[in-house]
Amino acid sequence: MSAPARTLAMGQDEAVAGGRPSVEAPFGRALAKLGQTRPDIVGLTADLGKYTDIHPFRDAFPDRFFNVGMAEQNLVAVAAGLARTGLVPFATTYGVFATRRAFDFVAIACAHSNLNVKIIAGLPGLTTGYGGTHQAIEDLALMRMIPGLTIIDPCDATEIEAATAAIADHQGPVYMRLLRGGVPVVLDPSYTFEIGKAVTLRDGKDVGIVSTGLMTERALDAADILAKRGVAVAVLHVPTIKPFDVEAVASFCAGVDHVLTAENHVVVGGLGSLVVETLFDSGVGKKVTRVGLPDRYIECGSVPTLQARYGITTEAIVAKIGALQ
């Protein structure tokens, strides 16, 4: 019998880089850098400082950092209070706890008053083997329902750094998914991030992939594989889930033969649903194939095993596109 596969543990790199160079803790570094010129930025966590990459900020600005203990409702409430005094709090925890546990506080204490609270959510989608308690597979769907909340699902280290600066400048509440640890560099250095803007990363006429978060890396890899087989695959990266770039998505989809969505999230309520709504509303009559997680709780196991089992790998995208031809 071969050795049992390992469950990747808390504190490990779970972004699972596809052989690309990576940057360590891009969020924490970017926040620490911002902190030098922005004395209004404060950091908070709920006993997950080490595990949400905010330690560079904590070490640089210990006076502006508050660990409230394992208390996610209080984390968000305290952040709201700090925002009311004119500060810009960045509060970190895992996505499951920021959404399921603290939802009312995000909705009422923060969003209802359009407070300047930035929630940074670790372990998005299926990036941990700890089972349903830790896998934030429906966070985009939940948070989308909160009026005025900006939602970002960045795809790599470059975008995390750029988005951290952008959301610090943005006036209003933000929920940003976090890739932690050694995060791959996927985008070119010339890439510019703008809240609410989708970006075409690759052109092609046969299939258009609309992707977000870590699935963009896989979409690009799938496009490379398919190019060798003579299939021209376009990739539209949509880092902002809300406000959604309706125009870019509609015109991108109008220009390709088949549309496929790719998200590290359940296929209901997130990117796939948004694309379907957008195309219907815009009168673009295209069939949409969704790559994402099934509508069920996922068991414990190692991350690569589970991602393959539940179909959010490069191979899964290639297979779905193969089936379209």
Question: H or E element: which one contains 92?
Answer: strand 88-94
Q: How far is the CB of 272 from another protein (least distance, A)?
A: 26
- SS3 of 232, please? coil
| Alpha-carbon dihedral 90, 92, 95, 96, rounded to 10 degrees | -130
- SS3 of 43, please? strand
Q: What is the 3-state secondary structure (H, E, C) of 126-193?
A: CCCCCCCCCCECCHHHHHHCCCCCEEECCCCHHHHHHHHHHHHHCCCCEEEECCCCEEECCCCCCCCC
Residue 94, beta-bridge partner list? 122
Q: How far is the CB of 183 from another protein (least distance, A)?
A: 20
Q: How far is the CB of 76 from another protein (least distance, A)?
A: 12
- List contacts with another protein (CB under 8 A): 4-7, 9-11, 45, 47-51, 67-74, 96-97, 100-101, 129-134, 299-302, 305
Comparison of 70 and 308: residue with beta carbon closer to ligand TPP: 70
Dig out the tokens for 250 from the structure. 């509609």
- List contacts with ligand TPP (CB under 6 A): 47-48, 70, 72, 97, 101
Comparison of 135 and 278: residue with beta carbon closer to ligand TPP: 135
Residue closest to ligand TPP, measured at CB? 47
Comparison of 97 and 310: residue with beta carbon closer to ligand TPP: 97
**Distance linking the first and last C-alpha atoms of the chain:** 39
Q: How far is the CB of 70 from another protein (least distance, A)?
A: 5
Q: Please choose which of another protein, ligand TPP, none residue 299 contacts, taking the beta carbon within 5 to 8 angstroms, the exact cut-off set by kind.
A: another protein
Q: Please choose which of another protein, ligand TPP, none residue 73 contacts, taking the beta carbon within 5 to 8 angstroms, the exact cut-off set by kind.
A: another protein
